[in-house]
Structure formats: structure tokens, C-alpha cells
Amino acid sequence: MGSSSTIGVRIGGLAMLALASLHVPAALAEECPGHPDAIGTSRTIVVDPLAHPRIGTMQYPETLPLRDHEVVLTFDDGPLPKNSNQVLQILADNCAKATFFLIGEQARAFPDGVRKLVAAGHTIGTHSQTHPLTFEKMPMDKVQKQVDDGIASVTAALTDPSALAPFFRVPGLLRGPNVEQYLGSKGIQIWSADFLADDWRHISSAKVYDLAIKRLEARHKGILLLHDIQARTAAALPKILHEMKVRGYHIVQVVPATPDRPATPTDPQDWREHPAPETLPVAERPKFPSFVFAEAEQLVAPVASDFSTPDGKLLLSGEPFDRVKRPMQNNPAALWPNPVPPAEDAAAILPAPSETVFAMPEKTQPPVQAAAAQTNEPEPPAAAARAGHRVAVGRLGHGRGNQRHAGHVGKSGKMQQAEAAKITPRRQVKVASLKKREK
């Protein structure tokens, strides 16, 4: 039995993952009628989740078998009409195909948004039902419910359930043994990422663009994690795609193998970084961005931003970015090296918290997440380090409050906007935070 048919057998029990007729267009030429400057989609690769169950070098040894200057775009947390629609239009104007990791409750609230993604030919995976930031310690029964409900909710929005790919991104990238085991048993591929643009933080769209391009240039290829629900992401995306094209990058779409669609032939080493970042001598490592997590422990001190997830959860140990944590464990002195980053990097990658740190112009981030947001207002490095640490300490208690987040995600966009509008002064949030911690 070939691996492709194995997939069908393994996950055939899940009606929502009946993949035989998965709706995905053939690879597009790198042309986009009516949009001569579009970056296009250079090719589509078919991957076998069973052969490569976990990908993304931020957390796993393997990543997608991309060639030099190939990028896979991924968008989390949607759909949310306004910004997701804008992202969708930008991608359409660029003939660029991406992978979207949808939250079940968002899909229930905005099923049209799910159908639009499918109609546009994007790849769709799931991102749990309510987006709890506790997957790293979640008991198996809750893992199963979160995963299964998320799949069911997205499937319910689809006219063709086979349009859902067996791809999953763990909220906050908070991988854990139970979620990995469960998804593995279902033949669902876990997608971490290769690089971020920090678009969940309170930074400008210009900063999102800057981080996306600089981190891409440090890697030359990879899976980029973005959030289509963020206005700053929608604002930055046209420029990001344009700059990628100018710099010779190509967008690649990824679809799952099915019995009728065998995986793209690859060699095992294609799924590994070459050379693996940690095998590079320090002197040869890219100086910027230091946020390529594999290098971070060697190049810059940890800052608050090192300790929060792409969904804003604070992490004190460096989890979930294991590739940072491991070297730290090997070298305890690296845990708290010189907290002052190189000056030239500070403004670009180490936005210091300021008085506006808790402002929340975005619509979907819950108050507790806003506390982790950062601005791009530069501060003196020492102040930045202190402020970063203060934020870190201040969010200690938030890890326990994830049900609040979970409940928030499922609310309608209007409710979220109304709630978000209430959250601006830092002090209010701090008070709320303290009250919560007292509970």
C-alpha cells in the first residue's frame, strides 16, 4: 500500500477529511492576468502528512521541501470578515495562494469567509475550535474535543468537506505531547513555522513588512506565519508581496496528498534545512534578524518578545520555541545574557513596551493578549530591557486565564469590536489583570 492510500485509510473515518476530491487548482504559472506586477504562485507541492507529520523549523527538525527563494504564506485565526476579506483580495490581486488555519468558532460565526477561501483556491487547515492557549499541557480528552470540534466547525461551513486539508496549527504554537500524538494518530500534519512577522503584536504595518522581509532574507525561504484577522497585516501584505517579487522570491502553495494525488517526489534531506542553522559557525550566522529562533540564543539577549507566542501568550521558559530552549538548557549562562541588544537591531526587532503597549486597535485580541502587545516606539535599550521584563512578570498569571480567551474568540466581530474599544488605557488592563490574579 502506498503512502497516499494509507492516508485515506488512516483518516478515512473522519468524514470531514475525505480527501478524494479535494478542491485545489493545478499549479499556476507565475502570471496573473490584469496584474502584471503580481508575484503569482510559482508551483504547488503535494505533501504526505504521514511521511512528514510535523513541520516548521521553529519547532521541528523538518520543514517543507522548499527550494531557495520559495515562500509559503500562512494565515491564522480567521475568518474575520473585514480584514480577512482584505487579505483575500490582496492575494487574489497577486494570484498568490496561501494556507489558512481557521478557528472553529470563527468559521461558525462567518461561514461565508470559509467558503470564500475555498472558492479562491487556497488551502485550508484548522487551528482548534476556541483557540485555547493551553495545548502544551492540555489533557487528551480536551485536545480531541478542540481538534475535532474545530474540524467539524470548518467542515460545516463547506459545501465540499473534502476542501479541508489535514493540516493543523497549534494555537500559540504551544505544542505538547497530547496534541502531537492525537494529530499524528489522525494523519493530520502539524504546521509550525519557519519565521514570523510579529503581526499579532502592537506594531505598525511598516514594522510587520520590515520583519517579514528581513527574516525572509536571513533564511532565503520558508513558511511565513501571518494573521489575516489583523489590520496591520492586511496593510503590510501588498508591500510584502511586492518586495518578495522584486527580490526574486516565489510563492508556493501546499496541498495534501490524496489517493488520487501522490506526494511531490522529494528526498529526505529536502525536508531539512541546509545547512541547519545550528551547524553554522556563529560568525557565519546571519546577524539579522536575530529573531530567526534558531539563532536567537546566540546573538541577542532574550527579551519579552522572545517569550510570547504568535498569539500573544507569555512564556517564561522560551517554550514553545524549542530550538531556542534546547541551547539555553545546554548553556545556562545564555538564559540571561547581556540584556542590551545590538543597537542597530534594537529599533527593528526589539520594540519596547511603552505607554501605548496595552492599546488595542485590533478587533479580535482579547484584553489579556493586549497586555503582551508591544509598540515599535524605540526606547533606550536599558529601559527597553526593564520594560520588557516588567511586561513578562506582569503576565505571569495570564497563562491560567485562557478560558477567557477561548470564550472571546467565538464572539461575533461586532462584540469583539465593542469590547476592544473599551480596552485602551494601560491601567485598566493592569487592574483587570491584577483582579484576575487575585482570583
Min separation Cβ 318 and Zn ion, Å: 19
The answer to the question of residue 362 lying near Zn ion (CB under 5 A) is no
The answer to the question of residue 198 lying near Zn ion (CB under 5 A) is no
- Calculated CA dihedral for residues 110, 112, 113, 116, nearest 10 degrees: 170
Residues 283-302 as x/- pattern, contact with Zn ion by CB under 5 A: --------------------
Min separation Cβ 212 and Zn ion, Å: 17
Min separation Cβ 373 and Zn ion, Å: 15
The answer to the question of residue 228 lying near Zn ion (CB under 5 A) is no
C-alpha distances out from residue 28 to 33, 88, 220, 429, Å: 11, 17, 22, 47
- Which residues have C-beta within 8 Å of that of residue 435, sequence separation ≥ 6? none
- Which residues have C-beta within 8 Å of that of residue 371, sequence separation ≥ 6? 357, 358, 391, 394, 395, 398, 429, 430, 433
Residue 50: what residue type? L
The answer to the question of residue 77 lying near Zn ion (CB under 5 A) is yes
**Nearer Cβ to Zn ion, position 74 or 178?**
74
The answer to the question of residue 76 lying near Zn ion (CB under 5 A) is yes
3-state secondary structure of 293: helix
Size of the site for Zn ion (CB under 5 A): 4
| Peptide bond connecting 289 to the previous residue in cis, omega within 30 degrees of 0 | yes
Min separation Cβ 146 and Zn ion, Å: 12
Query: Quick one: which segment of 163-171, 249-257, 347-355, 372-380 binds Zn ion (CB under 5 A)?
Result: 163-171
Query: Quick one: which segment of 164-172, 233-241, 265-273, 353-361 binds Zn ion (CB under 5 A)?
Result: 164-172
**Nearer Cβ to Zn ion, position 67 or 137?**
137
Distance, in Å, from the CA atom of 354 to the CA atom of 384, rounded to the nearest integer, reads: 9
The answer to the question of residue 311 lying near Zn ion (CB under 5 A) is yes
- Which residues have C-beta within 8 Å of that of residue 25, sequence separation ≥ 6? 44, 97, 121
**Nearer Cβ to Zn ion, position 39 or 154?**
154
Min separation Cβ 199 and Zn ion, Å: 11
**Nearer Cβ to Zn ion, position 170 or 263?**
170
Distance, in Å, from the CA atom of 439 to the CA atom of 218, rounded to the nearest integer, reads: 44
Q: Which runs of consecutive H residues, i.e. helices, occur in 55-204?
A: 81-93, 104-109, 111-119, 140-156, 177-185
**Nearer Cβ to Zn ion, position 103 or 213?**
103
Min separation Cβ 73 and Zn ion, Å: 15
Residue 282 DSSP symbol: G
Under the rule (CB under 5 A), what is the footprint of Zn ion?
Answer: 76-77, 171, 311
